[in-house]
Structure 1
Amino acid sequence: MNSTVASYRIDAGGSSLEEIAVYPTVPEGAAAGNHASDLQISSDGRFLYGANRGHDSIAIFEIDAETGRLSRKVQVPCGGRTRRNLAIAPQGDHLLCANQDSDVVTIFTRNAETGALSDSGKTIRIGTPMCLRFAKA
């Protein structure tokens, strides 16, 4: 609820967590009233995507596999209001964002090498989208 994401280290036995660091999901000076709503990690474990309600953005972080530390790459406008959920397509080439108060799912093209998102120009108009899941064909 405070617009942050934290990374943790799990001990060898898997019985305890140690906080590594806490990172903001919005830029410094962002207006009050924002809260993070969903986190997704790419299947290769290299990138974390965090949705922000209020700031109406998606924060992109790169994950350092050795240290567990995050580095924020960029903020991307999410194409609507009140982010509820993010979903990365099984092939990893798209990220979808459910924008509850805009009645739209925004479709981003995802670069698997850099983690970057770009607007595909495509959306799905649907009333109050809240949860996204991909079904096996």
Structure 2
Amino acid sequence: MTKIEHVVYTGKTHTTGGRDGAARSSDGRLDIKLSPPGSTGSGTNPEQLFAAGWSACFIGAMGKAASLLQVKLPADVAVDAEVDLGSTDNAYFLQARLNVSLPGIPADVAQALVEKAHQTCPYSKMTRGNIDVAINVV
């Protein structure tokens, strides 16, 4: 396991009530209700939050990769993240897909950007070897 030498940022939240609760960040910028996946509750769920965080981070990693490969990312770059919560043998697991849209970028260059981003994105590093992940250029 790699140890961090310099902390760049620490996200702090206070969560109560689990999947039927609420979460608030220490700076107040995040203040949300939580609801279980598939319920009629008005809140979001951890899988949606993880999908949003990972896709945002992945776009940042693609920006770094584009800079290294001397490619300009299109203004309408997008990542549609899908995070599945499922079970096997009465235990819960996650799996995920990142569907990456890079309009106007040749397929081979897009694939190279995605592969480089997947190697450097902290969320991708966190999931590597821990959950089933598919990265698709769409």
TM, length-normalised to structure 2: 0.29
Q: Please say which structure displays the higher CA radius of gyration.
A: 2
Higher strand share: 1
Higher helix share: 2
TM, length-normalised to structure 1: 0.29
Larger RCO (CA within 8 A; separation ≥ 6) = 2
